[in-house]
Each structure stands twice: as C-alpha cells, then as structure tokens.
Amino acid sequence: MKSPEVSSGSILIYLDGPNLMEMSELGHLCDGFTYNPNLFRALGVENYFDHCKLLSQKEKIKPISFDVIADDHHEMIRQAHLLSELGQNIWVKIPVTFCNGKSTKKVIFELQNSRIKVNITAVFSLKQMQDIADSLNEDISIISVFAGRIYDLGLDAKKILLEMVNWNSKNLCSKILWARPRMIFDLISANQIGCDIITIPPNIFTKKNLWGKHPEEYSKETIQMFFNDALRSKYSF
C-alpha cells in the first residue's frame, strides 16, 4: 500500500517534549523542538531554566520553543528576555491571554519590538488571532493553534485552522502551527490546509513508520499482539 504523501519542505515538524535520547535519535528527522513546564515535569526535570539552558547548548541551530512561567506583564517580559538570550534559535512561548482571559497583546508587542522570536500558544479561535495581529512581526512570530483540544470540544479543528491559515495569508503572514495532535494522521491534515509547522510528541511521531503497511497485515500483527498480551496475563477459564 502506498505511503501517504507529505512532501519534505511543505510542512515543518517540531518534536514536542523529547528527552535527551529522543532528541539525539530523532533530531535529524525533525525541524525543531518545543517544550513546556508540564513536559519538563514528565521528564523529571528539577530546575526549569537550567534545563532550558542545557537544551539550548545541545541544539544551537534548529528552533527550540520554551514557555515563560508567569501571569503578569512585567514578569513575562523579564522571563522572555532571559530565555531569548540562550540562543539565536530560541522562540519564547507566550499564552494568547493571561489566566483571567485578558489579551497579552501588549506583552507580545513589546517583545516583538525587541526582536524576540515569539510563539503564541493556546490559540483556539480566529478571533484570538485577529486580536493580537497588530502586535505581531510576521517574520519572528508563530501562532500555535491547539488543534487537538479543539477536537476535544467536538469542533472541526481542521476547518477552523483552514480559516485561520487563509486569514493569515491575506492579512498577517505569521507562521501557523498545528499544536497538540492526537494522531499521526494530523500531519497529513495540517499539510493539506497549508499549516507551516506541526508539533508531534515522539510517541506519535514514531507511528509514521507504519505508513505504507497494508491494513490487513497490521490487523494480523494487532491480533498477535493481543493474543501475546492475553498469554502474559496468565488468565484461564
């Protein structure tokens, strides 16, 4: 069976939260990396900034995105400057709003004026993107749309993202990122509608190795796996 077509260069793939071994083993297959505090916790990281520094020393060319850990204007600005100083390839992740729902566009505007590369996170709607548009410098801004969580709401994330991609191409031209995928097929969907970037966790990214396998062959392998699991359980009746 023919493998799905996702031509190289048409969409960039950023690994989401790889550990150091995964970064080494899979890094040559991706175009960048993204992290957040929750992913660091899952990796057992104890000191947030020190690990950001370690990762920035390990990868000095491909883009790496790190979150600020703040919910007020001045602290976001301070942390963003510290993170950006780790390297030319560092993008600072700023949430589209504060926890109270008020826009962070003044924070974004100040950082963009300082030529800090900004990755706007937790974007769920075209309205949110339009609200911050005047604060963005298109060549150093990424808009991360949380497609997986939009699907969780029972909404068609692909349709919503397509509207955002089209509006962006006519009015803004920032990079649109498909974030929080739920399955490897999201890579195909994101590519089809013209997203610039997709983030993919390592455990989902490695499923790309299945592309081209015949469904019935995979069915047989799945049945064998279930049977082996049943034997290991030592159940009987």
Q: What is the pLDDT, as a whole number, of residue 10?
A: 87
What is the rounded average pLDDT for all residues in the chain? 95
Find the farthest-apart pair of alpha carbons in the chain and give their distance in angstroms, rounded: 70
Provide the whole-model pTM: 0.93
Q: Is residue 42 part of a domain?
A: yes
Q: How many domains does the chain have?
A: 1
Q: Is residue 140 part of a domain?
A: yes
Integer Cα distance of 180 and 158 in angstroms:
13
Q: Is residue 216 part of a domain?
A: no
Q: Is residue 56 part of a domain?
A: yes
Q: Is residue 222 part of a domain?
A: no
What are the structure tokens assigned to 21, written together? 């071994």
Model confidence over 48-106: pLDDT tens digits?
Answer: 999 999 999 999 999 999 999 999 999 999 999 999 999 999 999 999 999 999 999 99
Q: Bridge partners of 200?
A: 15
Strand (E) positions, the chain? 12-16, 32-34, 64-67, 90-95, 118-123, 141-146, 175-179, 197-200
Mean pLDDT value of segment 204-214: 95
Integer Cα distance of 76 and 109 in angstroms:
12
**Full domain range(s) for residue 148:** 12-210
Q: Is residue 197 part of a domain?
A: yes
Tell me which long-range contacts 94-101 makes (C-beta under 8 A, separation of at least 24): 94/68, 94/118, 94/119, 94/120, 94/121, 95/120, 95/121, 95/122, 96/120, 96/121, 96/122, 96/123, 96/128, 96/132, 97/122, 97/128, 98/71, 98/72, 99/71
| 187 and 10 Cβ atoms separated by less than 8 Å | no
Q: Is residue 215 part of a domain?
A: no
**CATH number reported for the structural domain that contains residue 190 in this entry:** 3.20.20.70
| 164 and 129 Cβ atoms separated by less than 8 Å | yes
Q: Is residue 165 part of a domain?
A: yes
Q: What is the pLDDT, as a whole number, of residue 236?
A: 86
pLDDT at 169 over 60: yes
SS3 percent helix, strand, coil of the chain, rounded to 5, is 50, 15, 35
